[in-house]
């Protein structure tokens, strides 16, 4: 069942306007509602792009602030309690960005009750704040033609009802016979398919690239990378299928791709399909994209969560079984891990070396400063769409991150 959702993007944009610009905040940041309960403004972005977060919790013993502002694995930072029961913390000026965060109150994880901009996921909720720049950013909602987001429900015989988000570009005509290349997108661990539009802003990124003449019209297919909510164990059911990659691969190739080709006029050759993901999704995208030789022409993974004990020969058995097909149909293969993270660096590098040993051309990129957050993956996505996916010679284009991602 397909449900057009062209209003999702404007509504999301309105939510951002309501909670993020400091320049529209009231003169005081603490007020009382009609019942007398204390109301606080949070988050509050100052003109210098510093951000103050507040939480009214008069009976709490300890409140910590955590999220994308800190390195992966950090415990965050303690907030300070005022006499009126309001806990607060001001983060230093930030670059233009969309940052996720949460509070931990006496050990319990909570979203910001004063902020309506939150994300759902396969495990927990998170609040977000947008830090504006001096002008529009590459993910901004600009006054350009916009594509549409569609919600699609489909049935997988093994998994039951599944959900995907599909972006069609401006000018897409369902009645036309024209076909489009498609990018299949997989999210990070604990997240879900909505993150690519609500957090990464992938649809607005493509809108802007198209308006600037920097990309070809494409479909974006945002799939759910877990088998259930809440998510199951990372090693998969039975402990033998890391991130359920075999099951998710069967879902994408057996269910999603035929649906997209039938209902959204997606091209049907390997060179019409790209697959990309981050962290868990990076592992899934690379494993699925390479093992289904002849299905995808462009395969990329960011911060890909390969394990130190991953046997690459076993993991890529499908690839080696059809190696000549892969060499014929793969136009571009890449893994990338930012220099600001360490967890997936060595293992992703090991994967690229394995591909090279098989005689498969690939690109290994380490974008300067990139961290284990959607802020980095959003920029990687933008660069891939602009310079790599469906390009005549992807390897001749500048590597991901070589050109500043934060620009109009």
Same domain, 107 and 165: no
Same domain, 323 and 174: yes
Same domain, 283 and 228: yes
Same domain, 292 and 333: yes
Same domain, 242 and 188: yes
> Among 287, 336, 338, which residue's Cα sits nearest to residue 312?
287
d(CA 65, CA 132): 21
SS3 category, 402: coil
Contact 294, 322 (CB under 8 A): yes
Residue 149, pLDDT score: 98
Boundary of a domain, candidates 98, 131, 164: 131
Same domain, 322 and 191: yes
What are the pLDDT tens digits along the chain (408 aa)?
554 443 333 333 333 333 333 333 333 566 666 666 678 999 999 999 999 999 999 999 999 999 999 987 889 999 999 999 999 999 999 999 999 999 999 999 999 999 999 998 888 899 999 999 999 999 999 999 999 999 999 999 999 999 999 999 999 999 999 999 999 999 998 899 999 999 999 999 999 999 999 999 999 999 999 998 878 887 776 677 899 999 999 999 999 999 999 999 999 999 999 999 999 999 999 999 999 999 999 999 999 999 999 999 999 999 999 999 999 999 999 999 988 776 678 899 999 999 999 999 999 998 887 788 898 999 999 999 999 999 999 999 999 885 443 332
CA 359 and chain centroid, separation: 30
Q: What CATH number is attached to the domain comprising 203?
A: 3.40.50.1820
d(CA 112, CA 55): 7
Same domain, 196 and 324: yes
Is 60 part of a structural domain of the chain? yes
Is 164 part of a structural domain of the chain? yes
Boundary of a domain, candidates 131, 163, 190: 131
Q: What is the DSSP letter of 72?
A: T
Is 139 part of a structural domain of the chain? no
d(CA 86, CA 81): 6
d(CA 405, CA 383): 8
d(CA 281, CA 226): 10
d(CA 2, CA 5): 9
> Among 178, 172, 164, which residue's Cα sits nearest to residue 148?
172
Contact 156, 164 (CB under 8 A): no
Same domain, 167 and 106: no
Same domain, 245 and 327: yes
d(CA 246, CA 237): 11
> Among 331, 312, 319, 264, which residue's Cα sits nearest to residue 290?
319
> Among 196, 200, 142, 203, which residue's Cα sits nearest to residue 172?
203
Q: What CATH number is attached to the domain comprising 52?
A: 2.60.40.10
What does the DSSP assignment read for 172-189? --TTS---B-EEEEE--T
Same domain, 225 and 278: yes
The token pair at 347 is: 């293992």
Is 222 part of a structural domain of the chain? yes
Same domain, 210 and 96: no
Contact 393, 213 (CB under 8 A): no
Q: Which domain holds residue 384?
A: 148-396
Contact 200, 191 (CB under 8 A): no
315: enclosing H helix or E strand: helix 312-315
Residue with tokens 């306007």: 17
Is 59 part of a structural domain of the chain? yes
Is 5 part of a structural domain of the chain? no
Contact 271, 392 (CB under 8 A): no
Residue 260, pLDDT score: 98
Residue 32, pLDDT score: 66
d(CA 54, CA 62): 13
Boundary of a domain, candidates 131, 156, 187: 131
- The count of structural domains within the chain is 2
d(CA 401, CA 292): 28
Count, residues in the chain: 408
Pairing of strands 182-186, 219-223: parallel
Is 31 part of a structural domain of the chain? yes
Same domain, 181 and 57: no
Is 12 part of a structural domain of the chain? no
């Amino acid at each position: 069942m397909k449900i057009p959702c062209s209003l999702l993007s404007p509504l999301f944009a309105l939510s951002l306007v309501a909670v993020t610009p400091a320049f529209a905040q009231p003169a005081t940041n603490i007020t009382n509602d009609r019942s007398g309960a204390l109301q606080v403004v949070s988050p509050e972005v100052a003109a210098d792009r510093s951000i103050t977060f507040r939480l009214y919790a008069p009976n709490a013993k300890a409140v910590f602030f955590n999220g994308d502002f800190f390195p992966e694995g950090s415990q965050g930072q303690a907030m300070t309690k005022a006499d009126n029961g309001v806990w607060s913390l001001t983060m230093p000026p930030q670059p233009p960005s969309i940052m996720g965060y949460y509070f931990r109150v006496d050990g319990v994880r909570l979203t910001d009750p004063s902020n309506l901009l939150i994300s759902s996921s396969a495990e927990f909720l998170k609040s977000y704040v947008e830090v504006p720049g001096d002008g529009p950013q590459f993910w901004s909602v600009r006054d350009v033609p916009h594509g549409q987001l569609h919600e699609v429900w489909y049935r997988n015989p093994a998994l039951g009802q599944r959900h995907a988000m599909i972006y069609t570009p401006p000018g897409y005509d369902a009645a036309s016979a024209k076909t489009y290349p498609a990018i299949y997108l997989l999210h990070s661990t604990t997240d879900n398919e909505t993150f690519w539009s609500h957090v990464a802003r992938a649809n607005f990124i493509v809108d802007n690239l198209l308006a600037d003449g920097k990309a070809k019209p494409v479909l974006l297919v945002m799939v759910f990378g877990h088998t259930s909510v809440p998510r199951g164990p990372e090693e998969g059911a039975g402990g033998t299928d890391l991130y359920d990659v075999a099951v998710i691969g069967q879902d994408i190739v057996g269910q999603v791709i035929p649906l997209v080709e039938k209902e959204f006029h997606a091209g049907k050759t390997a060179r019409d399909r790209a697959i990309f993901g981050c962290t868990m999704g990076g592992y899934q995208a690379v494993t699925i994209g390479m093992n289904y030789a002849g299905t995808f022409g462009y395969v990329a993974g960011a911060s890909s969560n390969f394990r130190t004990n991953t046997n690459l020969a076993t993991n890529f058995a499908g690839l080696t079984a059809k190696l000549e097909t892969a060499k014929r149909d793969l136009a571009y293969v890449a893994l990338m891990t930012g220099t600001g993270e360490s967890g997936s660096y060595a293992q992703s590098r090991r994967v690229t070396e394995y591909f090279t040993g098989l005689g498969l051309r690939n690109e290994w990129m380490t974008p300067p400063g990139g961290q284990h957050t959607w802020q980095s993956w959003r920029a990687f996505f933008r660069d891939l769409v602009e310079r790599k996916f469906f390009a005549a010679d992807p390897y001749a284009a500048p590597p991901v991150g070589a050109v500043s991602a934060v620009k109009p």
